Amino acid sequence: MNDKIESISRRNFLKLLGSGVASVALLGGRKSYAKSPLTIGLQVEMTGGLATYGYWHLKSARAAIEKINEEGGIAGREVKLVYGDTETNPAVGSRVMNRLILREGADFVIGSQHSGVCLASVPLAKRFSVPYFPIGEATEITGPQGNKYVFRSNYSVKAHAKSGYRWVMDNLGTDWTVVYADYAMGQSAVTEWSSYLTAAGGKLVGKIPVPQGTDDFGPYLKKVDRGRTDVLVIILYGPDALACLRRTHEMGLTEGMKVFGNTGSVEALDVDFPGAEGLYSVTNYPRRSVDVPEELKSFDREFRASVGVGPDGRDPENGKIVDSSHYWVPWENVHFIRDAVSSCGWQGDRDMNRLIDSLAGIVVRGSTGHPQGSKYIRTLDHQGFHSQYIQQVQDGELSIVAQLPPEDGEYEPLSVL
C-alpha cells in the first residue's frame, strides 16, 4: 500500500486540494455497457429504530447510481444496486452482508448506519475480500476492529469529539452529564467526548446509559445532578432522542443548563417543539440549503434535486425530513467507488490491491459527487476527515452557528493497517 497520507496538516490539506491531487475526471456520456454490471450492495435500515435514516440512504444510493449510469457507468460498466434490510439489528445486518456478497454478487458494499451492524460486518469484508464502506460512527470500525477492506468517508465519534469538544466547553460549559444510548455507538461516543472533556480540565459529572426503545426517560433524567451540571449531553437517536428532549423540558432541566446533542440527536426529526428549542448539536451537513457554504451551494442544489430533498430539508412529495448529517454518505461512496475503479483499472479480485491503494489516502474537493465538501481518507487506518458544523434550534428551525474544518477532527490512528 502506498503512504500518501500519514498525517495531514491544514496547510498540506489545502495544498493538495489546490493542486488537484487525487481528482478523477467524470466519465462522459457513454450509454452502452460492454461488460457485465458492476454490483454495489447496500445494508439499509428499512425497519427498526433507524428506519428514518434508511429511507434516505436508499434514495441517496439509488440517485447516485442512476446519475452514474446516465454518465456511462463505471469504466464502461452498468452499475447495479442490491440491498437488504438490517432491521436495525446486528445479527440480521451481518446476514444481509453475507447475502449481498454470496447471493447477489456484490463487488462492493456500502454499510449500515447502525454501528453494531457495521462491527458485525467488518470481519466479513475481510473474509470475502470485498471493499466495505460503513456509515456507522463507532470509533472501533476504523480502529482496532478495522481491516484493509474497510473505508469510512464520514467521521467517527472520536473525530466528532476531537473536533467539537472545545467549542462546547468554550461556549456552553465545562461540567457535563451525558445521557447515552447503551449500545456500540452510544458507548463509543460517551467514551470519546468525556475523555477529551476531562483531559482539557472539564468535569464529567455523570454518565447515564439508557436502553434503546425506552418509553419513559423520567427515571433516567432524575439521576442528573442539576446543581453540578452546566451541559446536558444527549447521545441518542431518532424517537429516543425526541422522547428524551420532551421529558427534559417537562422536568425543567432546560431552565438551568444547556443541552447539546450528538450527530443523531435531531436527525430526521421535526424540531419545532418547546423541548427542542435552543438545543445545540453537531452535524456533518446542514439540513437547510440556506446554511450550506457558498462555495458548495451549486453542488448542494444538484445533489438535493437528484435525491429528492427540498431546500428546507424535506421530501417535496411526502414531507419527510432528511437525515442531513448522513444521507450524503451513500451518494459519496458510490462516487468514491467510481473514481477508484476508473483510476486503477479494477476489473475483479486480481486488481484488489490497486483498488485499495487508489482509495487509501485519497483527497477530494467539493463537487457534485462530494457535495459535503473537501475531505481525505487517511492511508494508515482508512478513516475519513471532513468539515462538521454546530447547529442550534432557533424558532423551530435548525440553523448553523459554527463550521469546524477537517483537520480539527484528526486524531492519532488507533491501529495501523
Whether residue 88 lies inside any domain: the answer is: yes
Domain identity same for 323 and 369: yes
Q: Which three cell numbers stand for residue 29?
A: 456520456
Distance of CA 47 to CAs 87, 182, 255, Å? 5, 20, 36
List, for the chain, all residue ranges whose pLDDT scores fall below the cut of 70: 1-34
pLDDT one-digit tens code per residue, 321-342? 999 999 999 999 999 999 999 9
pLDDT in tens, 114-145: 999 999 999 999 999 999 999 999 999 999 99
Looking at the structure, do residues 86 and 39 belong to the same domain, yes or no? yes
Q: Which of 389, 382, 330, 247 is nearest to 54 (CA)?
A: 330
Between CA 140 and CA 29 the distance in angstroms is 40
Structural domain includes residue 358: yes
Same domain as 238, residue 184: yes
Within a domain: 399: no
Characterise 376 by phi-psi region: left (phi > 0), alpha (psi -120 to 50), beta (else). beta
What pLDDT does residue 155 have?
A: 95
- State which residues form the domain around 243: 158-283
Q: What is the pLDDT, as a whole number, of residue 9?
A: 46
CA 99, 85, 303 angle in degrees (round to 5)? Answer: 110
Same domain, yes or no: 130 and 237: no
CA distances from 165 to 22, 57, 158, 355, 391 (A): 31, 28, 10, 35, 14
CB 349 within 8 A of CB 129: yes
pTM of the model: 0.89
105 φ/ψ sector (left φ>0, alpha ψ -120 to 50, else beta): left
Query: Are residues 208 and 93 part of one domain?
Result: no
Confidence (pLDDT) at 295: 97
| Contact of 1 with 360, CB cutoff 8 Å | yes
For residue 407, which amino acid is it? Answer: E
27 with 40, same domain: the answer is yes
Q: Is 43 in the same domain as 192?
A: no
Question: Is the domain of 339 the same as that of 259?
Answer: no
CATH of the domain at 367: 3.40.50.2300
